[in-house]
Structure formats: C-alpha cells, structure tokens
Amino acid sequence: MSGVFIVFEGIDGAGKTTQLAYLHEALLSMRNHRVLVTREPGGTRIGEAVRRVLLDTGNSEMTGETEALLYAAARSQFTAEVVRPALARGEIVLSDRFLDSSLAYQGFGRGLELHRLRQVNFLATGGLRPDLTVLLDLPVAAAVARMDPDRRDRLEREGVDFFERVRRGYLELASADPGHYLIVNAEREAGVCASAIWARVRALLQDRPTFGGCPGLDGGS
C-alpha cells in the first residue's frame, strides 16, 4: 500500500478531534496528495449504525463482550470499505480511533483478555496497523472536566476508575511499541501539541518516497 495511515488515540476528552483537525490543516499544504479524515466506530453507513448502538445511553445492560464484538464488526467494515481503498489510492488517512481503542477500553477498562481481543481484531482488520499512532495523554480529572456533562454518551458516563485503567492501558501499549507511537502531553496548549505532532508526521512522510518531495514538508507548521 502506498498511502499513510495515522491514528489518534486517547481517553475521552483528551483532545483527539482537535489535534486531528490541526494536522489535517497542516497537511493541506501538501499539494497533489489527498487526505482522508474519518472516525471509528463509524466512517461507513454500517459503522455509524453500530456506533449509535454502542454509545446509546439506553443500552446500559451491554456486556463487555458484546461491546468488543460490536466494535470489531464496525472496524471490519471500516477497514475494508474506507481505509484499505484509500491507502491503495496513495492517500493519507487520519482516523479518530482504531484498534488500540478496543485494547485500552475493552481490554484494560473492561478487563477482557487482550490476546482474545487481538485475535478478533486481526480477523476484523486483516492485520492492518497504523504507520503512526498519536496518543493524546491527559490526566483523567482534566479529561472529565473537559466533557460536557449534559452530552456524555454511554462510555463517557463511566467512572473515574474505569478511565484510569484505560489511560494506564494506553500508556502500556505505547511503551511496548515506541516506534509506532507518539505520546503527546495533552495538558500543554493545543498549538504546542500540534507542533509536536506535525514534526513527527513530517519526518514520517519525508522517509516515504511517495511523499518525500512534496511541497510543505521542508518547512514548519
């Protein structure tokens, strides 16, 4: 595949959507290459339908296993319908969440076995991995303070202990695979975070023959 797959991860409230938008804007300076912005679960008609079920506050009885399998189902459709075709076209794909969300939330958060989750999601993705995962790391108290209490979805209504486990899980995943992760201290100003992300992404693209000579890669953000 000739494209580049970049994923943003982190607990709810960490600022993934904001930083993805900053990176998208920076990448627009690269002429002659398309950038696809998407999210997971979602990104497809089927995925968005599954997303509604997963995040509906009325589904409080949902088990961790059901949750994990629904995420994997949406991810399978997302990978086949959106990500792989875009990468085959040579596009830069920016996704708000991917596989590691399931490992962090359903694995560390819900206590499901990581090796089982990896097996299910290998089937769902065919083993596809991001070229870079940007982890926006933020203390749970700060993340919760950023959430709108009147608009929290089913997962956002989980307790502090749940999000502490998820955060620790993300950091453990990142420390085990530093070559594919960039950990960003999301307590810093948004512009500072964006500059750090752009520096890493620019270096990644410069190492790719397809993107190395693109206008905009030699300068800053």
Residue 43 marked ligand-binding = no
Residue 12 marked ligand-binding = yes
Q: Is 129 exposed, middle or buried (0-12, 13-18, 19+ CB in 10 A)?
A: middle
Tokens of 75: 């991810």
CATH no., domain 4-206: 3.40.50.300
Residue 10 marked ligand-binding = yes
Strand partners, 185: 137
Identify the CA nearest to 105 among candidates 209, 30, 184, 11.
11
- Is the full-model pTM beyond 0.85? yes
Residue 17 marked ligand-binding = yes
Residue 11 marked ligand-binding = yes
Residue 79 marked ligand-binding = no
Residues 154-208 have pLDDT tens digits of: 878 888 899 999 999 999 999 999 999 999 999 999 999 999 999 999 999 988 8
Residue 133 has pLDDT above 70, yes or no: yes
Residues 50-93 have pLDDT tens digits of: 999 999 989 999 999 999 999 999 999 999 999 999 999 999 99
Residue 92 marked ligand-binding = no
- Domain ranges in the chain are 4-206
Residue 6 marked ligand-binding = no
